[in-house]
Structure formats: C-alpha cells, structure tokens
Structure 1
Amino acid sequence: MYDRLHHFYQHALALDNTPAPDKLTLHFPNDRPRKLVLDKSKLSQAEIALLNTLFHTNVAVHHQVTQENEWLYEWLINGHSPPKHKLERLTPPPLRCIHFSIKGELNEIDAFIEAIKNVFPSVTNLLWKSRTEGVLLQHLPEDTVEEELSVESIIDTLATDFLIQTSFFIGSPIDSSHLLYERFKWETTLYDAVKMTFRKKSFFYEQEIVTYYLLHHIPESTLKLVSTMLDSVMNDRELIHSIKTYLECNMNTSLAAKKMYVHRNTLQYRVDKFIEKTAIDIKQFANAAAVYLLILRLEAK
C-alpha cells in the first residue's frame, strides 16, 4: 500500500521546507512501519478528507483537542478558515505563539499539558501539531510588564519530570486575531528549519529566529571558505566562549565579565588576544556582527 500511494502521489510529496501546517502524514503501522508525508496544498479537499478517513494521519493527536478548540485546530493546523463568530470569541490580542517540540517518549500527556501551562502564564490554548510538536497560544495583557522567561530552567524542569528533551520557540506578539494564521505559518516555517540545523540550541526568541533562519541557508561551501578567518582561534574554546559572550552583551566588557564571573581586565585581555590572532577588530560593529554570525553557524556543526 505504501509503495502504491508513494507512486500515485509522487507529485504531492512534502519537502523539507514544506510548512508543518501544510503536511499530511499517512501512517502505515503494518508496513515496517513507515509513513508518507504529503503536501496538502497539492491535494484537493476531497483527497485530503478521504486520506484522513482511511489512514492515521497527524490528527492522531486530535483527542487532545477539546470541542471548544476544535475550530482553532482546524484553522491553524489544517488551514480551514473559521467562522467570523468563532474568531470574535478568540482571546483578545495581544497574543503570541509558543512553539515546542519533544524528543523522547512522552507517556504522561495530561501531566505534561498541565505542567507546560503552569510554566507559561496566561496560556489560553494548547494544540498538538503532531505527536511530538505543539503550540501554545499565550495572552499578553497590555497593562502588564512581562518578566523575562527563564526558558533554560523550564526545559530542565520538564527534562527532570518527564525524561524528555524539549525545545521552544517564543514567537512575536500580534495585535490582531486576523493575523494569527499567517504568523503561525511563518513562525512554523522558521522553527522547522532552525531546530534541525541548530540542534544544540534548545530555545529561540522571535528577536533572533530570522538570524538563525538566514544562517540555516548558508551553503557549506561558503561556510568552509569564510570559516578560515577563525582557524587560528577555533580550538580555543574558552576564548570563543568569551568572545561570543562579549558580543552578546553588545560589546560591553563590564557586563560580559560580570556574566562570566571573571575580572573585567581578564575579558579585555581575551578580546585583545582574539583581535591579535585573527586580525579582526571586533570592537567595530560590522566586524563584530560578522564574527558573531560565523560563531553561531560553526557551533551548529
């Protein structure tokens, strides 16, 4: 059955960059097992409905969707436009999406849902995109000042409690419910790309995700060529870590030194050492930006 459908739907096979909401996954549990991932934009509505009926698709997690959230699931995950009266009942903006993915076997789904809603305040909905991926909709009251999330602490807690690895992408706020679907698709495309390339990074913020997305598309040949700029220092992990921290602190030596628990003069020495060895003056913004992006991309290898 898998081989026949694979041949018949050759024109509709999903690609790596196909947005997750546009993917239709057909499961074949008795066939090794295998799955076939199709691009819904290349199928008719009748074909999608038939395949959903005949196979275990990625709506296998639909049991987690309450009747109240079903229209939202159909809108964001399956791309079916909601009735106007349903959209008007959506929690008023500003809203944002918090995307997450899981590595490992999640056995206590209900407990996980409760835990993840507890660590992200003002969550109004949780929707599963697949068995290992989901999205939270979070309301951001206009009259409150949000405290910076300790995402690393959240990830550590979930790992301890559920023995899984969790990755997050904190999306950007939207001020209109009508923008939610397009923002959701855009952020899903970005997250699907960068989380595969930057596997060592467990969370992303909306301010940085585009940077990682652009880095994801740097050809290996180009990366190999420009990385020679750092050949003289790449084996010095302490130095690279210091320079990365210095650049992340906007080239503020005092702030970076405090963050690293070292004396300011120690960090200044390392910055000068980097400049001397590479002949790249990272005290200049253009050079600093180029070096920082290069370090991020090389760390992903």
Structure 2
Amino acid sequence: MNFNQLKSIYPSAFLTDDSNNDQNYLTFPYQNQWIHFDKKQLTSSESKLLHLILNKETDIKNPENPQSKWYDFLIENNSILPAESGNYRIIQFNIKKKDTNFNKKLWLNAFKSFFENVEAAFFINDHYGLLIQHYSGYSLNQDETIGILQTLDDDFSIKTKGYIGQYWSISLEIKDIFNEEQTIFFNQLDKSKQVFSLPDIALSYYASEALFKSPIIQQLKEELISHSEIKELITAIWLNQGNISLAAKYLYIHRNTLQYRLDRFYEESGLSLKNRDDLLLCYLLTI
C-alpha cells in the first residue's frame, strides 16, 4: 500500500525525514522516511491493522541474509513458534548516516560476534533490524552494548541506536510483546541515549498520555518553553542521573557553564534541577 492510498483513508497522515517522536502520533518507518498517524483518529483495531500492514510494507527481503524461524514468526506472522523452550530477548537496531559503501552483511556479522547464543540476526529493511538472543546465564549490559555500537559506528562511519528488550519465555505472546517494543523504540528513537531499554523510558512513555490531559502540566510546559535551551539541559541531567559533570560532557560545555545555567534557571523558575523531585517534574514537562 503506497502513501497516497493511506492518505486517502487517513487524510491527516504525513511523512517526515526523521521519526519526529510525538506521542500523539503512531509512527512507522516507511521506505526511506517515517509515516505518522494521529492516534486520536485511530481505533484500537485500526492501530493493530496499521502495525500489520506497515510492518509488512517495510519488509525488504535481503537474499544475502538467510531466512530464519524468528523472521518468519515476528515479521511474516507465521504462527509456528521459532523455539520449543527458553527465554529470549530482542535487540533492535536502527542505522543512520550510512553511505553507498555501507556493507550490511559485514556490519551484521561484526555486531553478532559480540554476543553469545545469538539465535538470529537480520535486517528488516534498509536501516532497521533485529538480533534475537537466547538467555544462558550472562548477557552484555547496556553500557557494554553502547561501547560496541560506538566502536562499530567509528569503523563503519555510521550512527546507530539500539533498544534492548527484556527476556521473555517463548510463547505466542512474544509477537505482541515485540510489536509493543518496536513501537516504543520508534517513538523514543530521538529522545533517548544511544542504547536504551524499558526502564529508561517507561515513565515518560507510559505517562505521556495522562500528562497531556493535565491543565497544570500544560501550563507549566508553556512557561518552561520560555526558557531557551532548557529542554536540552533537563534531558542531559536526567539521562546522566543528576551528575553535573557527566551532563556537562554530554552537552559539550564546561561544568561551570552548566552550573551557571542551572543557577539562572532556578532564579527564574524556582525549580532546582539538583533536586531529584524538581528534576523529575521538569523531565515530565519535556515529554
């Protein structure tokens, strides 16, 4: 189904070059762009149908990568379980800024080599793919995975983001769980650090709809917008768990410069980003 056909059914649908990550929209990768649908205009059944259609549409079968039972189960909606027992997690990856010389097969083999007990790994489309890992006692943590991607990014001159799913026991429900993890990944792609997981974004992702309905939060948001660069500042401190030195490094500014901005924001708003309750409130205002 092409964009014009979808547009005739959902007139408010639109395309962008990035994921946009507005919680009010249901977002999917579409060819080399992103397609967005207004959630308010979708029923639950329509949302599920769009997941089925667009996950299928984005599929570009790559003859370089052998098909697997996991591909058939997750992408082709085959009802046969890809394994008989065990716990598995799905690591999603999305690659940007690749040039025409980028070798997907070479990158995928390098990426797989860092993980133990890989059941399957494949690209779903030109930039997005999955790695499925079987739990056997030890797994690379988030920081280690970030280090891997940073190394590969330097080697291949690309920019990669990843989402580490939870381990789940094998069952038919894994397909629904994957669909939700996929939606989370696409919607949080430009809001989170290079590699993230459910605990990193659960608060912002699941609280966003309730916050949107609050007149108090909306008023505070309007006031927050009047402070230039504050959203970036809040995000940096939140992602670095209140550590001022790490936040300054994240923003590529001197620690004293960051301290000055924090003091100025406190004088203007009465909110101290050094206080964890104030920081939490300010972070919620940015989502």
Output the TM-score relative to the length of structure 1: 0.62
- The alignment's C-alpha RMSD in Å is 4.9
- After TM superposition, the structure 1 = structure 2 runs for residues 61-210 of structure 1, keeping only pairs within 5 Å, are 61-67=61-67, 69=68, 71-82=69-80, 86-88=82-84, 92-93=86-87, 95-103=88-96, 104-105=98-99, 107-142=102-137, 144=138, 146-195=140-189, 198=191, 201-210=193-202
The answer to whether structure 1 residue 291 and structure 2 residue 282 are counterparts is yes
- The structure with the greater share of residues assigned to helix is 1
| Structure 2: segments with no counterpart, 5+ residues | 14-24, 37-45, 250-254
The amino acid across from 2:135 in the alignment is L
Structure-2 separation of matches of 1:258 and 1:177:
44
C-alpha contact (below 8 Å) 1:122/1:139 kept by paired residues: yes
Distance 1:230 1:169 in 2: 29
Decide whether aligned partners of structure 1 residues 11 and 78 sit closer, same or farther in structure 2, where only a CA change above 3 A counts: farther
Query: Larger radius of gyration, structure 1 or 2?
Result: 1
Write the deviation string for residues 100-137 of structure 1: whole angstroms up to 9, x where unpaired: 11222463122111111123443221132212110111
CA contact (8 A) 2:90 2:166 kept: yes
Post-superposition offset of 1:10: 5.0
Q: Structure 2 counterpart of 1:87, which letter? A: A
Unpaired segments of 5 or more residues in structure 1? 28-32
> Matched residues, percent identical?
23
* Number of residue-to-residue matches in the alignment: 255
The CA distance in 2 between the partners of 1:176 and 1:79, in whole Å, is: 15
Q: Which whole-Å CA distance do the structure 2 matches of 1:41 and 1:127 have between them?
A: 24
Deviations 1:205-229 (A, max 9, x none): 221233443577676xx88743344
Q: CA deviation at 1:156?
A: 2.7
**Measured at CA, do residues 105 and 224 of structure 1 come closer, stay the same or move farther in structure 2, by a change above 3 Å?**
farther
Deviation at 1:96, TM superposition (A): 1.0
Match of 2:266 among 272, 275, 295: 275
* Rounded Cα–Cα distance in structure 2 between residues aligned with 1:80 and 1:244: 42
**Structure 1 pair 202–277 and aligned structure 2 pair: CA distance change class (3 A):** same
Hey, what's the Cα distance between the residues in 1 that align with 2:103 and 2:193?
Answer: 25
Displacement of 1:287 after TM fit? 2.8
Give the TM-score normalised by the residue count of structure 2: 0.64
Question: Are the structure 2 counterparts of residues 131 and 249 from structure 1 closer, same or farther at C-alpha, using a change threshold of 3 Å?
Answer: closer
* Map 1:244-283 → 2, pairs under 5 A: 244-245=236-237, 247-248=238-239, 256=243, 259=246, 274-282=265-273
| 1:180-205 CA-partner distances (Å, limit 9, x unpaired) | 2121111011112222x53x843322
Aligned to 2:21: none
Check the 8 A contact 1:97/1:137 in 2, yes or no.
Answer: yes
* Secondary structure of residue in 2 paired with 1:78: coil
